[in-house]
Amino acid sequence: MPLTTVSSSPEASPSKPAALTFQELLFRLQSFWAERGCVLQQPFDVEVGAGTMAPETFLRVQGPKPYKVGYAQPSRRPADGRYGENPNRLFRHTQFQLILKPPPVNVQELYLQSLEAIGIDLKKHDLKFEEDNWEGPTVGAWGVGWQVMMDGMEITQFTYFQQCGGLDLDPICAELTYGLERLCAFMQDVDSVYDVVWARDPETGAVVTYGDVRLTEELQYSVYNFESADVSKLWAHFNEYEAEAQALLAQANATLASKEASAAEKRRFPLISTYELALKCSNLFNVLDARGAISVTERVGMIGRIRNLSVGVAKVYAAQQTA
């Protein structure tokens, strides 16, 4: 039984309206937040494990400048891949990531309005904000907040960021992360994300499902992450990316500390590229982990290495902003 009342196609009868398609869900969220002054960004084009790691969050939350941004971020979790066989677990899921810096005083009310905007009648559902604090050790970030539970299901992670890149944030920001696949499966009332209607042809009513679009990818990614990825090459890539990032950070620190360097020189330092190298390391670490190539003792050390890079980037960013 569909749980929502928003009609999106002409065929839908008033008594049993169709829930939003996957892409309509994204449209609605984007328009809702755009109407409230958010910049809409496109997904970041380097592999990340979560929307938080995209520079639109990781870098923009630093410093005093207010910023509001929303974007759908494909998020890779190699260990969560299930060859497309598990109805709820995905190697790559889509987060609609929203950063409100500083958080408006009515941020929770705005969030509830966004749920109404995607067709959820709050009077007919049970909604709770349950404590859930978030921590991202590889990006030196943490915050306090909630998992937003609707009818017993987590539909959003809501975090007041306190620290990022190892630096205290001032002002803080609110991070809202909508898990689009599970939210859509919930709204369309299907038991498998692969049955989610991604798009519906308004003329013919023909549907394309999430499975049509993504199932093969999920299978192939799982095969690569669990079976084919060449462990020694992954290690080599990791070490190379790390070395390059470290070298760039050393340069950056020298330039920023130099009295001779002009402000223009400081600003042109390619920090964004340095950060991308750190993200490459993070993704390689995740693949190595899925491959079972990282022992428990190594794990902590690896997280520390990635954290060093991201903390280094955050520091340079802060210095660059004031240069």
Partner 1 sequence: MADFLLEIGLDEVPARMIAGAEAELGQRVCDLLKRERLLGPKAKLTTYSTPRRLAVLVEDVLASQADSEEQLTGPSWKVAFKDGAPTKAAEAFAKKAGVAVEALEKITNAKGEYVGATVKRQGVAAPQVLAAELPKEVLSLYWAKNMYWRAGKPERFVRPVRWVVALLDAAVVPVEIAGITAGNKSRGHRILHGSDPVLLNSPESYVEALRKAYVMVDVAERRQTIRKALDAATRTVAGARWREDEPLIETVVHLTEWPSVVLGAFEPEYLALPEEVLVTVMRDHQKYFAVEGADGKVLPHFLAVLNTEVDAEGEEIIRHGNARVLRARFKDARFFWDFDQKVFLADRVESLKVVTFQKQLGSYHWKTEQNLVVVRQLAATVKAAGVAFDGASLLKAIELAKTDLTTELVKEFTELQGVIGGLYAKAQGLGETVAQAIYAQYTPASTEDAIPATVEGQLLGLADRIQTITAMFGIGSAPTGSKDPFALRRAANAIVKILAESGLPLTLVDVVAASGAEGANKEQVAAFLQERLSFYLKDVRGFAYDVVSAVLPADADDVRDAIARAEALTAARESADFAAISAAFKRIKNILRQAEEKGFDLGSPQDVTLAPEAQQLAAAADALAPQVAKLRQERAYGEALALIATLRPTVDAFFDKVMVLDPDAAVRGAHLGLIDQILRGFSGIADFSEIVTA
Point out which residues bind partner 1 (CB under 8 A).
1, 3, 64, 86-88, 102-103, 105, 108-109, 112, 122-131, 133, 143-144, 146, 150-153, 160, 162, 168, 170-172, 186, 189, 191, 295-297, 300
| Least distance from partner 1 to the Cβ atom of residue 133, Å | 7
Name the packing angle between helices 22-35 and 180-188 (round to 10°).
110
| Least distance from partner 1 to the Cβ atom of residue 101, Å | 10
15 vs 42 by CB, closer to partner 1: 15
28 vs 182 by CB, closer to partner 1: 182
153 vs 250 by CB, closer to partner 1: 153
Cα–Cα distances (Å) from 38 to 7, 31, 41, 183, 228, in that order, read 26, 9, 9, 21, 41
DSSP letters of 168-199? EEEEEEEEEEEEHHHHHHHHHT-SSGGGSEEE
| Least distance from partner 1 to the Cβ atom of residue 59, Å | 19
27 vs 160 by CB, closer to partner 1: 160
2 vs 43 by CB, closer to partner 1: 2
| Least distance from partner 1 to the Cβ atom of residue 220, Å | 22
| Least distance from partner 1 to the Cβ atom of residue 71, Å | 24
| Least distance from partner 1 to the Cβ atom of residue 259, Å | 31
153 vs 223 by CB, closer to partner 1: 153
Q: Which of 50, 48, 84 is nearest to 218 (CA)?
A: 84
Cα–Cα distances (Å) from 269 to 45, 56, 248, 255, in that order, read 20, 18, 9, 8
Q: How far is CA 255 from the centre of its chain?
A: 32
| Least distance from partner 1 to the Cβ atom of residue 152, Å | 4
CA dist 240 and 280 (Å) reads: 10
In contact, 193 and 66? CB cutoff 8 Å: no
CA dist 78 and 320 (Å) reads: 34
DSSP letters of 197-244? EEEE-TTT--EEEHHHHHHHHHHHHHHIIIIIS-HHHHHHHHHHHHHH
Q: How many other β-carbons are positioned within 10 Å of the β-carbon of residue 32? A: 19
The answer, yes or no, to whether the previous bond of 103 is cis (omega within 30 of 0) is no
85 vs 201 by CB, closer to partner 1: 85
